[in-house]
Amino acid sequence: MTDDSKTPISFYGTMTASATHELKNILAIINENNGLMDDLAFMALNQESDSVAPERIQSVCSKISKQILRADTVLKNLNQFAHLADKNKTSIDLYDNISYMLIFAGRLIERHEVAVNIEPPEEPHLFLMDRFQLCHVIWLTLETSCRCILGDKKIDVHIKSGSKGQTVVFKIFSPTDFWLNEFKILQETISTMSSVELILYEDTCSFELDFSNCS
């Protein structure tokens, strides 16, 4: 695990930096589209081209609209992230929160070129937990998984419901040699910061996050 996101404050920094970086990229695209409109207007005024085709202008406007929608989504997710710490314990739907983190941290996961596949559970189950803490645990798990993967970069996630509570099972395809060491460190970190238990299965290169003790 890197030192980048071990503590709550560094997790907060990593996530907000990623979101603001994505917003910068979006602004860059809007800036260039705006600049192109300016270039086209300049060429038309100086009669460097016969005329500017309306379809061209529409295409540029449509690209700007698409980026605005994209920026709005990033900001909504960032706002949701900012509000995670509003309440100490709240009613949690695991699938919703893991899905949220996969989207919000998507850019960071994409840097590792890893595909994460999550199946929705047969039925939702709710339990009480600090939502910020939950998202932090999910992030640390995803980040460690992404670093411990080779070749066919794929992680499968599914949620199991037992009599005592819910667990999330992660299966890493093509793990690195050092995956077990990294996950033992993660196991210790998670145990010191929450009631979540990380259970490792060496033979199947998989692990579980057990939330039974959380409610």
Partner 1 sequence: MPEKVLLVDDETEFLEIMSERMRNRGMNVTTTDSADKALTILEKETFDAIVMDFQMPGMDGIKALKTIKNLKPELQIILLTGYATVEKTVEAMKIGAADFLEKPADIEILTEKIKKAKAEKMLIVEKQTEEKIKDILARHGGGS
Nearer to partner 1 by Cβ, of 27 and 185: the residue is 27
13 near partner 1, judged by CB under 8 A: no
Give residue 147's Cα distance to chain centre: 15
> Which residues, at least 6 apart from 49, have a Cβ–Cβ distance to it below 8 Å?
40, 43
Token digits of residue 119: 């199946």
How far apart CA 138 and CA 141 sit, in angstroms, is: 5
Nearer to partner 1 by Cβ, of 21 and 184: the residue is 21
Which of 4, 8, 13, 21 touches partner 1 by CB under 8 A?
21
5 near partner 1, judged by CB under 8 A: no
113 near partner 1, judged by CB under 8 A: yes
Q: How far is the CB of 30 from partner 1 (least distance, A)?
A: 8
3 near partner 1, judged by CB under 8 A: no
20 near partner 1, judged by CB under 8 A: yes
Q: Judged by CB under 8 A, which stretch of 26-34, 73-81, 86-94, 185-193 contacts partner 1? A: 26-34
Q: How far is the CB of 85 from partner 1 (least distance, A)?
A: 24
6 near partner 1, judged by CB under 8 A: no
29 near partner 1, judged by CB under 8 A: yes
Q: Angle at Cα 7 formed by Cα 142 and Cα 186, nearest 5°?
A: 45
110 near partner 1, judged by CB under 8 A: yes
Token digits of residue 69: 């929608």
Q: Judged by CB under 8 A, which stretch of 3-11, 25-33, 77-85, 115-123 contacts partner 1? A: 25-33
Which of 2, 16, 31, 91 touches partner 1 by CB under 8 A?
31
Residues that bind partner 1 (CB under 8 A): 20-21, 24-25, 27-33, 35-36, 39, 43, 63, 66-67, 110-113
